[in-house]
Amino acid sequence: MTTRTLNWFKSSHSGNDGADCVEVAITPTAVHVRDSKDKDGARLALKDSTWSEFLRFAVA
């Protein structure tokens, strides 16, 4: 699957007022992450377990 066919979305907590945000796209094998202001820039592809661990850390 190419990143052009991914269904990217921002958190419902993200505003549209120009704040820095990340977008994610979920596939059966990975969670893809990119900068919402640089859609053609660098991207990460993380295993589900790695993304889950990051979220546990981020909300703590």
Q: Regarding predicted confidence, which is higher, 51 or 3? A: 51
pTM over 0.85: no
pLDDT tens digits for range 30-49: 999 998 888 889 999 999 99
Place of tokens 């859609």: 39
Structure tokens at 59: 């909300």
Q: Regarding predicted confidence, which is higher, 1 or 8?
A: 8
pLDDT of residue 48: 92
Residue pair 45/32 in contact (Cβ under 8 Å)? The answer is yes
How high is the pLDDT of residue 16? 63
CA distances from 12 to 1, 15, 42 (A): 25, 8, 23
